[in-house]
Amino acid sequence: MQQSSISEALSGARKRRWLGADPALCFVLIYFALQIIFVTFMSNGASMDDAEQLAYAGSWQLGYGSSQQPLYNWIVSAATAVFGINLFTLQLVKFSLLASMYASVYCGARLLGLGRWVAAAGALGIFLLPPIGWESQRALTHSVVGVAGCAWTFFCFAWHMKSKSWFSAVALGLAAAAALLGKLNATFFILALLVAGFSVSDYRRTLLSRTGLLTLVVLVAALAPVGLWMLEHSHHVTARSNKFAFDNSGNLLISRATGIGVMLLKTALFSCVAVILFAIAVWRNRADIIARSRAMGTGERFVVLLVSWSLGVVFVGIVISGATRIEDRWLLPVLFLLPLLLALLFSCHIRGDRGLRQIAFWSAMAALVIMPVLALNLSYGRAGKPPIGQLDYKSLYERLREAGDFQVVVSEGPQIPGNLRLYDPDLVVAYPAMPGAASRIRQPVVAVSTGELSQDVLNLLAAAGISSSHAEIRRTTLHYVSQPDLTQEVSYIFVP
């Protein structure tokens, strides 16, 4: 009896010590668990990106078109096999990935030897980066798993540099593969990680050891199937390459200068909130500024090199390719460690951890503010335009069923058919950008479009050998659930 009481006391002490030691980690896990429930409750239908996931859910392929990597689709398909095709499953996948990203940054920083509050401010500070803290919760899918994969790679790299075991070597290879299978722009981070790692003598020896070779073998083996598919279906991989506006000006120097200027602007917009709040923290703690900053440790130097090289690799990529268009979300794998870098530099020049605690607190408050703002956005959109997820898809599904019995839905994109699968998970979806779309179509079939029936939809039906010339075009009006006075016209045909 006494031994049992001692064991329980020790267990309770360890639990209290863990909760006290990692408040940032606890906040992240609780926050995203709440977001899963909250966003599911607030959602009526799926956004465009989530509707695409619903359209493909349960379909296991090496590639899904739209120039996107397949990992997010695989994770959603695995989750829907367990939890079903519903909005809860979509939010479970997204917010679990986001939680793993924040946690990986925190744990990776600790493994590299960074202080507890440096790691906490660096992880929670990610909420201060709008494309991650806000946009990734609101709309993104593939970019979420891409940056999460980069965070896993960061954690596994730190783990491997500490343990140097065969197990951590395999984990590092798998994490790097996950990043690249999540989003192609993770390539920038992986290259920067290698360059930064080889720049640190202690890490270079580990990377050049036999365990480093194992990491490479695991990485290549994990990427090989999808890599071969990409070579065979290169037209799908490059289908949207025009979005980079390569050499848009027609002049080599002007295009490169434009691309670099856009990169600097997007980097500034990406990081401005975090930089401003860190600057405020420096000003508030100016009395604790150290006259001579302390020397950095090995892990700290690595973080500085990693963030610097990440931007450097993007710079080189722009110079080589001539890309003149850069979206802020494309910089997620490059800048997600920026708050950690800022926290690290802060700790080198400011005595004590009071300022870092302030930054962690402000970041947590920003995360909490995001919750109600996100709810308003999901319900009412912005600029007076409600989100497509608020359309009355249930009413549309019932009207389509009145037209006849069907199991295939063809549309101009995933928006409508993906949301219809919330009411009938057995529906088969086809749209023009989907690889092998025509082969998925069987009669009876419904073709549906917002506005007038899309010619691309009719062409896809023809490619499947289905004549729609005698089908009656019907129209219906859908209301937005959150704003019933606003409507969207929808056209559809039924081919028995």
Is residue 385 one of the residues assigned to a domain?
A: no
Of 346, 380, 414, the residue that ends a domain is: 380
> Which pLDDT score is estimated for 352?
85
| Separation of alpha carbons 386 and 394, rounded Å | 17
Residues 95 and 175 in one domain: yes
Residues 202 and 122 in one domain: yes
> Which pLDDT score is estimated for 453?
86
> Which pLDDT score is estimated for 242?
64
Residues 458 and 352 in one domain: no
> Which pLDDT score is estimated for 236?
64
Is residue 269 one of the residues assigned to a domain?
A: yes
Q: Can you spell out the DSSP letters for 127-196?
A: GGSHHHHTHHHHT-SHHHHHHHHHHHHHHHHHHHHHH--HHHHHHHHHHHHHHHHH-TTHHHHHHHHHHH
| Separation of alpha carbons 51 and 47, rounded Å | 6
> Which pLDDT score is estimated for 6?
43
Which residues of the chain register pLDDT less than 50? Answer: 1-3, 5-6, 8-10, 12-20
Of 339, 356, 380, the residue that ends a domain is: 380
* Number of neighbouring beta carbons within 10 Å of residue 16: 10
| Contact (CB, 8 A) for 223 and 177 | yes
Is residue 386 one of the residues assigned to a domain?
A: no
Tally of domains in the chain: 2
In sequence order, the 6+-apart residues with CB closer than 8 A to the CB of 162 are 111, 168
**Structural domain range at position 289:** 2-380
Establish whether the linkage from the previous residue to 432 is cis, with ω within 30° of 0. no
Whole-angstrom CA distances from 283 to 111, 120, 287, 344, 399 are 30, 20, 9, 16, 62
The first and second tokens of residue 279, run together, are: 């600057």
| Separation of alpha carbons 275 and 330, rounded Å | 19
**Residue type at 149 in one-letter notation:** G
Of 334, 356, 380, the residue that ends a domain is: 380
Whether pTM exceeds 0.85: yes
Whole-angstrom CA distances from 426 to 102, 219, 397 are 35, 35, 13
Is residue 452 one of the residues assigned to a domain?
A: yes
Residues 200 and 81 in one domain: yes
Structure-token match 């966003």, residue found:
39
> Which pLDDT score is estimated for 21?
55
* Number of neighbouring beta carbons within 10 Å of residue 361: 13
